[in-house]
A and B are shown apart, each in its own frame.
Chain A
Amino acid sequence: MKPVDFDYVRPHSLAAALAALAGANGEAKVIAGGQSLGPLLNMRLVRPALLVDVNALPGFDAIEEREQWVRVGATVRQRDAERSELVARRLPLLRDALPFVGHAHTRNRGTVVGSVVHADPTAEIPLVAVCLDAVVEIAGPRGAREAPVADFYQGYLATDLAADELVVGVRFGAHPPAAGAVRVTGFAEMARREGDFAIVAAAVQLDVERESRRVREARLGLAGVGGAPVRLRASEAALCAGRDGASAFADAVAAAGPAIDPDGDLHATAAYRRTIAGPLLARALRLAWARL
Chain B
Amino acid sequence: MSARHTVTVTFNGREHRASVPARRSLADFLRDDLQLTGTHLGCEHGMCGACTVLLDGAAVRSCILYAVQVDGAQVTTVEGLSPDGTTLSPLQDAFVACHGLQCGFCTPGMLIAATELLRENAAPSEDEIRTALGGNLCRCTGYQQIVESVQLAARGADAR
B65 interface contact, C-beta 8 A: yes
Please provide the chain A residues from 1 to 41 with a CB less than 8 Å away from any CB of chain B in the complex.
Answer: 1-8, 10, 31, 34-35, 38-39, 41
Contact yes or no, B113 A49, CB < 8 A = no
B118 interface contact, C-beta 8 A: no
Stretch at the interface among B54-62, B83-91, B100-108: B54-62
In Å, the complex CA distance between A172 and B124 comes to 33
- A39-B134 in contact given A3-B23, A7-B1 (Cβ < 8 Å): no
Contact yes or no, A105 B59, CB < 8 A = yes
Distance (Å) between the CB of A198 and the closest chain B CB?
15
Distance (Å) between the CB of B133 and the closest chain A CB?
9
A264 interface contact, C-beta 8 A: no
Contact yes or no, A39 B23, CB < 8 A = no
Pick the contact of A35: B1, B21, B46 (CB < 8 A): B46
Contact yes or no, A38 B60, CB < 8 A = no
**Which residues on the A side are within 8 Å of B3 (C-beta)?**
7-8
Distance (Å) between the CB of A96 and the closest chain B CB?
15
**Contact digits for B58-99, partner A, Cβ 8 Å, 1 yes 0 no:** 111101111011010000000000000000000000000000
Size bin of chain A's contact surface: 20 to 34
**Contact digits for B109-139, partner A, Cβ 8 Å, 1 yes 0 no:** 0000100100000000000000110110000
Contact yes or no, A106 B135, CB < 8 A = yes
- A105-B23 in contact given A5-B2, A8-B5, A39-B46 (Cβ < 8 Å): no
Distance (Å) between the CB of A196 and the closest chain B CB?
10
**Contact digits for A33-53, partner B, Cβ 8 Å, 1 yes 0 no:** 011001101110000010101
B22 interface contact, C-beta 8 A: yes
B16 interface contact, C-beta 8 A: no
**Which residues on the A side are within 8 Å of B63 (C-beta)?**
38, 42
Contact yes or no, B46 A106, CB < 8 A = yes
Distance (Å) between the CB of A186 and the closest chain B CB?
20
A145 interface contact, C-beta 8 A: no
A108 interface contact, C-beta 8 A: yes
Contact yes or no, A195 B135, CB < 8 A = yes
A234 interface contact, C-beta 8 A: no
**Which residues on the A side are within 8 Å of B46 (C-beta)?**
35, 38-39, 106
A104 interface contact, C-beta 8 A: yes
Distance (Å) between the CB of B68 and the closest chain A CB?
5
Distance (Å) between the CB of B45 and the closest chain A CB?
4
Contact yes or no, A49 B65, CB < 8 A = no
Q: Which B-chain residue is minimally distant from A79 (CB atoms)?
A: B58
**Which residues on the A side are within 8 Å of B55 (C-beta)?**
108-109
A160 interface contact, C-beta 8 A: no
A65 interface contact, C-beta 8 A: no
Q: Which A-chain residue is minimally distant from B109 (CB atoms)?
A: A105
Contact yes or no, A34 B65, CB < 8 A = yes
Contact yes or no, B132 A6, CB < 8 A = no
In Å, the complex CA distance between A158 and B66 comes to 25
Contact yes or no, A106 B23, CB < 8 A = no
**Which residues on the A side are within 8 Å of B22 (C-beta)?**
5-8, 51
**Which residues on the A side are within 8 Å of B28 (C-beta)?**
2
A-B residue pairs, 9 tightest by C-beta: A38-B64, A103-B135, A8-B22, A39-B45, A1-B44, A108-B58, A105-B59, A3-B23, A109-B60
- Inter-chain pairs besides A42-B63, A43-B45, 16 sampled, C-beta below 8 Å: A1-B44, A4-B23, A5-B22, A35-B46, A39-B64, A41-B23, A51-B22, A102-B135, A104-B59, A104-B113, A105-B59, A105-B135, A106-B135, A108-B55, A109-B58, A109-B65
Q: Chain B interface (Cβ within 8 Å of chain A)?
A: 1-3, 5, 21-23, 25, 28, 44-47, 49, 52, 55, 58-61, 63-66, 68-69, 71, 113, 116, 131-132, 134-135
Q: Chain A interface (Cβ within 8 Å of chain B)?
A: 1-8, 10, 31, 34-35, 38-39, 41-43, 49, 51, 53, 55, 79, 102-106, 108-109, 194-195
Task: Name 16 A/B residue pairs within 8 A (Cβ), A-sorted.
Answer: A2-B23, A7-B1, A38-B45, A38-B65, A39-B64, A41-B64, A42-B63, A55-B69, A79-B58, A104-B59, A104-B131, A105-B49, A105-B59, A108-B55, A109-B61, A194-B134
